[in-house]
């Protein structure tokens, strides 16, 4: 018996589950090689950006108070701008999450009377309140910014005719979500995003194209800002934080867009000049350094999960074969037992709170109970191995993250172990 098998058995995996899983991970070696190539390319991209911008030991020292002349903060923002191939960037722990980063980008670059267009259908749930699709205090709608939406066609293609008709003299900004998030549409490749941006700029050249880059960073060797996006926006407790960054968000893009965002984040007149980095810089730099390989580990874990469950007859989105442009995987269980057993297994594999049994609860904002599995070093971090799903038809689990492939793999094996022990699957 090989050494790791022995350890898996000690860790609670039965021989049947191990044998089933082993066949599958062995069959994925060629796929994983391609992911390693992407991560190698991106790793060099990040190192080169750090060297070109002269990251030094002094950059790891934070500031306090106003945070004037914060060398580390300014250098980190240059590193992000280099990696995303943009004029400037705003990378701050004062940006509290992905939603905040997106709200900041929108609210600072739109003015009363302007219109925002989403040409890729409904945006991420939390943006509905930012935009004012669902009533909310302080939304763009309250400030007189209107919103138009063009859904994707049935087959997932852009509805170019409708997009063209939706663009008018007031259209000032376009928001494009790269990842499918928690919808069933396909995730957009960077290439497709580039085609959409060219089409839009062909109709109106000065419209600001923003991409919600959450979960997409480093899954390909180019980013949306390489293909014409004026702004890319994301969360530091997802891919670019590399699992080390404890909080924050980023915007990278055109100088003017970033300047607008900085004046909104801090204050008109102050902009990027203030914002103490405290003791955050080491994890922000090191997390970004780790991000290409951590993202690759999460992508491998997602592909492993898709193939395990696809082979057992469960619908999986995306399927086991397609190329990946984000790190989210869903598996459809069609009943609460399957969904809960899966989450229990993921939790049992966690380094933190591994002894806890997740229970469905009535989360604010949801119309049915939700079950969540997470045993993370950073609270709520979804670049760490995590899974959740609402207890309603079709009882789909959304699974993402895995700082190491070994952990992602173990989590998936524990989820299968849990389904197997409950008699939900037979092997
Ligand atoms: C996670 C996510 C967001 C919002 O991020 P939070 O950090 O949870 O506020 C927005 N868009 C997409 C596509 C996401 O995945």
Candidates 214, 330, 378, 382: which one to mutate for ligand 1, based on the most atoms within 8 Å of Cβ?
Answer: 214
Ligand 1 atom closest to Cα of residue 127: 10
* Alpha-carbon dihedral angle through residues 267, 273, 276, 282, given to the nearest 10 degrees: 130
Q: How far is the CA of 125 from the centre of ligand 1 (A)?
A: 8
365 pLDDT exceeds 70? no
β-pairing, 396-400 vs 328-332, is antiparallel
pLDDT one-digit tens code per residue, 229-276: 999 999 999 999 999 999 999 999 999 999 999 999 999 999 999 999
Euclidean distance between CA atoms 37 and 50, whole angstroms: 20
39 pLDDT exceeds 90? yes
Mean pLDDT of the chain, nearest integer: 96
pLDDT one-digit tens code per residue, 193-243: 999 999 999 999 999 999 999 999 999 999 999 999 999 999 999 999 999
Q: How many CA atoms lie within 13 A of 103 on its CB side?
A: 20
Q: Mean pLDDT across the stretch 140-154?
A: 97
Ligand 1 atom closest to Cα of residue 97: 7
Q: Mean pLDDT across the stretch 71-77?
A: 98
414 pLDDT band, cuts 50/70/90, is very high
pLDDT one-digit tens code per residue, 270-306: 999 999 999 999 999 999 999 999 999 999 999 999 9
33 pLDDT exceeds 90? yes
Q: How far is the CA of 6 from the centre of ligand 1 (A)?
A: 39
Candidates 186, 212, 295, 388: which one to mutate for ligand 1, based on the most atoms within 8 Å of Cβ?
Answer: 212
310 pLDDT exceeds 80? yes
Ligand 1 atom closest to Cα of residue 100: 9
Q: Find how far residue 298's CA is from the centre of its chain.
A: 11
- Residue 18: in which H helix or E strand, if any? helix 15-27
366 pLDDT exceeds 70? yes
Contacts of 2 (CB under 8 A, 6+ apart): none
> DSSP class of residue 297?
H
Ligand 1 atom closest to Cα of residue 382: 1
Domains of the chain, with CATH numbers?
A: 3-42+289-421 (3.90.1150.60), 64-278 (3.40.640.10)
Which tokens belong to 364?
Answer: 């604010």
Q: How far is the CA of 31 from the centre of ligand 1 (A)?
A: 27
pLDDT of residue 182: 76
184 pLDDT band, cuts 50/70/90, is confident
pLDDT one-digit tens code per residue, 315-324: 999 999 999 9
181 pLDDT band, cuts 50/70/90, is confident
Which tokens belong to 359?
Answer: 């229970």
Helix (H, G, I), strand (E, B) or coil at 237: coil
Q: How far is the CA of 324 from the centre of ligand 1 (A)?
A: 18
Q: Mean pLDDT across the stretch 106-119?
A: 98
Q: Find how far residue 89's CA is from the centre of its chain.
A: 18
pLDDT one-digit tens code per residue, 368-398: 899 999 999 999 999 999 999 999 999 999 9
1 pLDDT exceeds 70? no
Q: How many CA atoms lie within 13 A of 259 on its CB side?
A: 5
Long-range contacts of the stretch 332-338 (C-beta < 8 A, 24+): 332/394, 332/395, 332/396, 333/394, 333/395, 333/396, 333/397, 334/393, 334/394, 334/395, 335/395, 336/360, 336/391, 336/395, 337/422, 337/424, 338/314, 338/395, 338/419, 338/424
Q: How far is the CA of 353 from the centre of ligand 1 (A)?
A: 24
- Residue 181: φ, ψ to 5°: 60, -130
Ligand 1 atom closest to Cα of residue 181: 13
147 pLDDT exceeds 80? yes
Q: Mean pLDDT across the stretch 415-419?
A: 98
Q: Mean pLDDT across the stretch 83-110?
A: 98
Q: Mean pLDDT across the stretch 107-132?
A: 96
Q: How far is the CA of 179 from the centre of ligand 1 (A)?
A: 10
Euclidean distance between CA atoms 194 and 232, whole angstroms: 13
Which tokens belong to 29?
Answer: 């070696």
Euclidean distance between CA atoms 253 and 269, whole angstroms: 20
Q: Is the peptide bond before 394 cis (omega within 30 degrees of 0)?
A: yes
185 pLDDT band, cuts 50/70/90, is confident
Q: Mean pLDDT across the stretch 66-73?
A: 98
Q: Ligand 1 site: residues with CB under 6 angstroms?
A: 97-99, 124, 126, 177, 179, 181, 212, 214-215, 235
Which residue puts its alpha carbon closest to atom 8 of ligand 1?
Answer: 98
């Amino acid at each position: 018996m090989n050494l790791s098998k022995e350890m898996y058995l000690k860790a609670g995996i039965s021989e049947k589950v191990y044998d089933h899983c082993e066949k599958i991970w062995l069959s994925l070696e060629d796929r994983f090689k391609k992911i390693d190539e992407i991560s190698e390319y991106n790793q060099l991209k990040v190192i080169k950006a750090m060297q070109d911008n002269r990251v030094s030991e002094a950059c790891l020292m934070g500031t306090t108070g106003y945070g004037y002349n914060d060398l580390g903060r300014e250098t980190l923002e240059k590193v992000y701008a280099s990696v995303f191939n943009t004029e400037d960037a705003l990378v701050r722990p004062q940006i509290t999450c992905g939603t905040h980063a997106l709200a900041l980008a929108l609210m600072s670059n739109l003015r009363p009377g302007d219109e925002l267009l989403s040409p890729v259908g409904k945006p991420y749930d939390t943006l509905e309140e930012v935009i004012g699709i669902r009533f909310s205090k302080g939304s763009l709608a309250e400030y007189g910014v209107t919103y138009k939406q063009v859904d994707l066609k049935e087959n997932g293609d852009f509805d170019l005719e409708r997009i063209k008709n939706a663009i008018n003299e007031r259209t000032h900004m376009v928001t494009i979500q790269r990842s499918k998030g928690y919808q069933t549409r396909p995730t957009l490749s960077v290439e497709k995003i580039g085609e959409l941006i060219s089409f839009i700029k062909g109709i109106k050249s000065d419209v600001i194209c923003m991409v919600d880059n959450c979960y997409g960073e480093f899954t390909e060797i180019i980013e949306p800002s390489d293909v014409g996006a004026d702004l890319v926006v994301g969360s530091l407790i997802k891919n670019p934080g590399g699992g080390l960054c404890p909080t924050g968000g980023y915007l990278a893009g055109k100088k003017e867009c970033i300047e607008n965002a900085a004046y909104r984040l801090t204050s008109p007149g102050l902009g990027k000049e203030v914002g103490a980095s405290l003791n955050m810089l080491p994890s922000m730099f090191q997390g970004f350094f780790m991000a290409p390989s951590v993202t690759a580990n999460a992508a491998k874990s997602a592909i492993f999960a898709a193939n395990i469950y696809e082979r057992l007859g469960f619908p999986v989105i995306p399927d086991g074969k397609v190329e990946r442009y984000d790190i989210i995987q869903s598996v459809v269980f069609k009943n609460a037992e399957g969904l809960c057993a899966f989450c229990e297994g993921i939790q049992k594999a966690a380094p933190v709170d591994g002894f806890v049994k997740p229970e469905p609860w009535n989360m604010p904002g949801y119309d049915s109970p939700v079950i969540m599995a997470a045993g993370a070093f950073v609270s709520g971090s979804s670049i760490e191995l995590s899974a959740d799903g609402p207890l309603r038809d079709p009882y789909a689990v959304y699974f993402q993250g895995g700082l190491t492939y070994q952990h992602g793999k173990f989590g998936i094996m524990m989820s299968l172990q849990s389904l197997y022990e409950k008699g939900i699957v037979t092997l």
